Amino acid sequence: MCVYRHTHPHACHAHYGRNLIEGPVEGRQDMAGDEELTLLGLWASPFVIRARIALNLKGLSYGYTEESLYDKSDLLVRSNPVHKKVPVLIHNGKPVCESQNIVSYVDEVFPGSGQSILPSDPYDRAVARFWASYVDDKLYSTWVPVFRGSTSKERVEAATRVIAVLETFEQRAFGECSRSNGGRAMAAFFGGDSVGLVDVVLGSLLGWLQATEAICGVKVIDAARTPLVAAWAERFRAIDGVKEVIPDVARLVEYNKVRRARLGLPLLLPSVELLQ
Interacting residue ranges for ligand GSH, rule: CB under 6 A? 42, 45, 47, 69, 84-87, 98-100
Region of residue 183 (left: phi > 0; alpha: psi -120 to 50; beta: else): left
Q: Are 21 and 193 in contact (CB under 8 A)?
A: yes
Q: How far apart (Å, rounded) are the C-alpha atoms in residues 92 and 94?
A: 6
Measured from the CB atom, the residue of 53 and 86 that comes closer to ligand GSH is 86
Query: Would you tell me how many other CB atoms lie within 10 Å of the CB of residue 54?
Result: 28
- Residue 62 DSSP SS3: strand
Q: In angstroms, give the least distance from the CB of 242 to ligand GSH.
A: 18
Q: In angstroms, give the least distance from the CB of 98 to ligand GSH.
A: 5
Q: What residues have CB less than 8 Å from 19, skipping those under 6 apart?
A: 25
Measured from the CB atom, the residue of 92 and 101 that comes closer to ligand GSH is 101
Q: In angstroms, give the least distance from the CB of 139 to ligand GSH.
A: 13
Measured from the CB atom, the residue of 38 and 99 that comes closer to ligand GSH is 99
Measured from the CB atom, the residue of 170 and 199 that comes closer to ligand GSH is 199
**Integer angstrom CA distances of residue 99 from 53, 70, 116, 229:** 11, 20, 17, 22
Looking from the CA of 274 toward its CB, the CA atoms found within 13 Å total: 17
Measured from the CB atom, the residue of 47 and 169 that comes closer to ligand GSH is 47
Measured from the CB atom, the residue of 98 and 213 that comes closer to ligand GSH is 98
Alpha helices (H) in 137-182, listed in sequence order: 141-148, 152-168, 174-180
Q: In angstroms, give the least distance from the CB of 175 to ligand GSH.
A: 26
- Residues in a beta bridge with 96: 89
Q: In angstroms, give the least distance from the CB of 36 to ligand GSH.
A: 21
Q: Which of 252, 248, 244, 247 is nearest to 56 (CA)?
A: 244
Query: Which residue's CB comes closest to ligand GSH?
Result: 85
